[in-house]
Structure 1
Amino acid sequence: MHLRIIADPEHPYSLEQLSVLSEESITVDEKLGRILITFTPTIQHCSMATVIGLCLREKLKDCFHPHFKVDIKVAPGSHADEESVNKQLNDKERVAAALEIPNLRQLVDECLYSSEL
């Protein structure tokens, strides 16, 4: 899966290099059509946690059929505002609205398509 090449929004490394995401943190159940991704922000108050989640969600669109149910969450205890971040990342309307904001869309695209990694 190509999630490992997503750039971190604040660092010149990939999410995998920063241990934000690992192969073990991704569960794909093709039979049930479900994907669960749990990521660990670099710090408890990471202001980019939502951006990271949006990047993951957008990348999954390229990798899986749209019928898959996708849940993206921060690892339990890894973020000070865990519940709010998880709610935002898994609400279709909030995700769609966030991706319509030009600066945020540009940041997500830069993380997904950075050629520096």
Structure 2
Amino acid sequence: MTLGLINANPIVHAKRERIARPEDLILHGHDSVDPLDIYDYVRDIRDPEHPYSLEQLSVLSEESITVDDKLGRILITFTPTIQHCSMATVIGLCLRAKLKECFPPHYKVDIRVTPGSHADEESVNKQLNDKERVVAALENPNLRQLVDECIYSNEL
């Protein structure tokens, strides 16, 4: 048992095979965004407390991403591994930072915890969708380093 972890023994699922699709549709400036493309882009983000990806911990799934092209809206819901996850905001910041690299700027991205999955659901959602709070959080060098480690650790 590892000391200091909120969820020392998470359930880990096998990674799924990637579906063969045209490479990086989002990054090449297409007008529409596909939920599967978004999922493929963010599924390997590492959990802040564990060496596993958000996909492996079932924090994120293909079904948790919806796109409304008419409204220009992307909605991502994620499910922390426990109700009192202290890293929920960091997970949301990782998703937001990673998506900022790739999604078309005319889309509004909402990131939320799955309803009923977190004890401070309203507070976490408010933090993750307030532009000023997100910018301030990502300007904090220690927090930015943690976010970058989670985003890029599986790409090395």
* TM-score exceeds 0.5: yes
Distance apart, 1:8 and its partner CA: 0.5
> Which structure 2 residues correspond to residues 1-117 of structure 1 after superposition, within 5 A?
1=38, 2-115=41-154
Higher relative contact order (CA 8 A, sep 6+): 1
Paired with 1:56 and 1:66, the residues of 2 have a C-alpha distance of: 15
| Larger Rg belongs to | 2
The residue type equivalent to 2:113 in the other structure is V
Paired with 2:155 and 2:136, the residues of 1 have a C-alpha distance of: 28
Over 6 Å off, 4+ runs: none
The residue type equivalent to 2:98 in the other structure is K
Query: For 1:10-51, what per-residue CA distance to the aligned partner results, in whole angstroms no more than 9, with x for missing partners?
Result: 011000100000000001222321000000001000000000
Distance apart, 1:115 and its partner CA: 3.3
- 1 or 2, which has the higher helix percentage? 1
TM-score with structure 2 setting the length: 0.72
TM-score with structure 1 setting the length: 0.95
Instruction: State, as a whole percentage, how many aligned pairs show the same letter.
Output: 86
In structure 2, runs of 5+ residues without a counterpart are 1-37
- Single out whichever of 29-38 and 85-94 deviates more from structure 2: 29-38
The residue type equivalent to 2:47 in the other structure is D
